[in-house]
Amino acid sequence: MTARSETGGAPLVVLGEIRTGLLMNRSPLPAPADARLLELVPGERVRVYERPVRRVVSADLPYGVDCPLFTESGRRVRGIGTLLTRACVVGGRIVQGSTRAVVVAGGDRRLPWAHYLARPGVVETGGRGAPENLRSRFLAGRDDDGLDPGAVSASLVGRVQRSPLLDHRAAFPARPTRLRWAAAVGGEGFHGAFALADDETRTLRLTLGPTAGATPERLATLCEDLALHDWLLTTVALVVERACADGDSAGLRALRPVVDGLVHLWMPGAGVAPGLLKVWEHLEERPGLTRQWNACVHRLRDHMALRALESITARREDSPPG
C-alpha cells in the first residue's frame, strides 16, 4: 500500500500502539523455541531475522473493530474495519505486541462485514472529519471508548506469555512500556515528536513526505524498533539505579542478567527501511537515546568494577596475616 493508493491523494494516516515487556522465562528463549512460540496463525510463516540481533515476528492477525474515533475538536466519528496485530520476540528476552491500522474516509452507510474483512488493516470512518485530524486525540488517549489498539497488543502479549514453552518466571523485575504512535504519510516535509507521557506511556507523532517510502508495515517496524530501545533504556536505567542504591551483593547479582541478556541488544535502526532512518537520526540528536544508553551502560560497568574491587579488598582484609 502506498501513501496515496488508499486515500485518493490525501495523506495516508496510520495509527498504532506497541506493548513491550520482558519475556516470562528465567533464561533467554533459544532458537527455534522462540519461533514456535510465535506460531499464532496456523499455516502462516513466522519470520526470523538473525542479524544483527535475532528477532522473530509472527504473522499478522486481523481484529475487527466498530468503535468511535475523535477529531481534535472532539467531534465523534464512527470507525469500522480491521486492525492488524502481531507479536515479536527479540533476543529471546523481550516480547512485543504491535497493532496498527490505516484510517481512511468511508461513506455514511455501514457496509457488510465482508467488505471490511477484504481490506485487512484498514479502518473506515463515517461522517465528517478527515483522518489526519484524528491523530492528536488518539495520541492523548483521553477517550476510553475510542479506538484502542493498545488493548489488542496487550491481549496478544498475554497470549504469548501464557505459552507452555515458557517457565513463567521473570529473570528480574521489569515493568512493561507502551508506545502509542500516529503517522501521516504524503504530506510536506518531515516532522517527528517523541514524548514520555508518564512512566509507562510514550507517544510518537510523525509526518513524512512521499519519498520516505513509508508503508504501514515499514512504519510498524520502525515503531517497534523505537519501542524496543526505549524499553531497554528504561529497564536498564532502573536496574542500575536500584543496584547502586542497594550497595550490596544482592544489587550486584541483579545486574548479571541485565549484562548477559540485554546490553548486547542495543542496535537502533536495525531492520528499519532506509527511507525511515531519518526518524532515528532525529531521535539521536534529541533526546539522544544512544547517548543516554552509553551513559547508563558506563555507570553499570563502573558500579560492577567498584563492587568487585571492594569485594577483593574485603577478602584481603579478612584474610589472616602471613
Query: How does pLDDT run across 181-215, given as a tens digit for each residue?
Result: 999 998 777 888 999 999 999 999 999 998 788 99
Q: Which amino acid belongs to residue 27? A: S
Confidence of residue 251 (pLDDT cuts 50, 70, 90): low
Segment 231-251 mean pLDDT: 84
Q: What is the residue extent of each domain of the chain?
A: 12-215, 232-318
Q: Quote the cell numbers at residue 84.
A: 492488524
Q: What is the pTM of this model?
A: 0.93
Q: Is the model's pLDDT at 127 over the cut of 80?
A: no
The three three-digit cell numbers of residue 207, written as one number: 509526518
What is the pLDDT, as a whole number, of residue 9? 56
For 51-61, the pLDDT digits (tens) are 999 999 999 99
pLDDT value at residue 8: 53
- Alpha helices per DSSP H over the chain: 33-37, 113-117, 135-140, 149-161, 216-246, 249-261, 277-285, 289-318
Among residues 165, 220, 188, 144, the alpha carbon closest in space to that of 36 is found at: 165
261-298 residue pLDDT tens: 999 999 999 999 999 999 999 999 989 999 999 999 99
DSSP notation for 53-86? S-EEEPPPEEEEEEEEEE-TT--EEEEEEEEEEE
Q: What per-residue confidence (pLDDT) applies to 3?
A: 45
Mean pLDDT, the chain, whole residue set: 90
pLDDT digits (tens, 9 = 90+) for 69-93: 998 888 899 999 999 999 999 999 9
Q: What is the grid cell recorded at 225?
A: 524498533
Q: How many CB atoms lie within 10 A of CB 87?
A: 24
pLDDT tens per residue across span 26-54: 999 999 999 999 999 999 999 999 999 99
Average pLDDT of the residues in 311-321: 69
Average pLDDT over residues 85-114: 95
